[in-house]
Amino acid sequence: MAFILSTEIAGTINSRKASEMAPILDAANRSSRIRGVLIHINSSGGEANASERIYRKISAIKAKKPVFVHVTGICASGAYWIASAATKIYAMETSLVGSIGVISITPNVRRLMERIGVDVKVLKAGNLKDMGNPFVVMDDKAMEKMTSIIKSAYNSFWSSVSRERKLPEEKKDQIATGEIFTSSDSLSLGLIDAVGDGELALEDLRRTTGIRKMKFITPRRPIIGRIIGSAVDQAIQETLSSWSETLLM
């Protein structure tokens, strides 16, 4: 029997999240029984690569069947990149949407190491091999290279959003500023299609597909999350991510 598949993307978008979502999205793409997909999103973003991986899978599904996104809380940065692949985007009145931008944060602890008497020696082959090393000050060449990488990811982000949402290039300076927008502003800017709750999105998808039956599938958490709880697991992952050189969206 045909049905609508409903799932959710919540929390930080990272490689683990992309791996969790992959089986669900791949099944939605392959199965002829699944006639439409509804994704509930509540995320402030995360890693650029992980966001792109999920975005591409949703794009592949949309080529075959409708994919609707409902923003339950926040849909920002990489989460919005993911949402932009959908056929339609719905958001609650109090939701926050957007933050089209890229950032890379690398802490520098050189002065702290000097204060406590720790000397760090770095041996490298390749001038930029230690780019982002928290124990040294980033020089101009490394800064220029890192900025170039960030701009490349930013351009990919905007290119996807502008294509999917049919936004003209002249709106880039108004929309792709890295800021988040209210639902009403997002609607007027063309970032979403409607303001409403999940029932509105589901009923619209039912009318579009002609299918009433819906199945909700939750992404399976890894073993560490099932043992110690999702909140603690999430805190660990976010702490580890904050000390990486990963591009964040």
Distance of CA 86 to the CA centre of its chain: 13
77: annotated active-site residue: yes
Q: What percent of the chain has pLDDT over 90?
A: 66
- Dump pLDDT digits (tens) for 18-50: 999 999 999 999 999 999 999 999 999 999 899
User: Residue 183: pLDDT above 90?
Assistant: yes
pLDDT band at 236 (very low <50, low <70, confident <90, very high): very low
Is-contact 33 1, C-beta < 8 A? yes
Angle between helices 48-62 and 15-30 (to 10 degrees): 10
Question: Which is catalytic among the residues 129, 151, 171, 213?
Answer: 129
**Residue 119's CB: how many other CB atoms inside 10 A?**
7
E strands within the chain?
Answer: 3-10, 34-43, 67-76, 88-91, 96-98, 180-182, 194-195, 214-216
Domain 3-242 of CATH type 3.90.226.10:
yes
Which band of pLDDT confidence, cut at 50, 70 and 90, is reported for residue 239?
very low
Six-digit token pair at 205?
């998808």
* The one catalytic residue among 44, 51, 77, 162: 77
Closest CA to 25 of 76, 73, 82, 74: 82
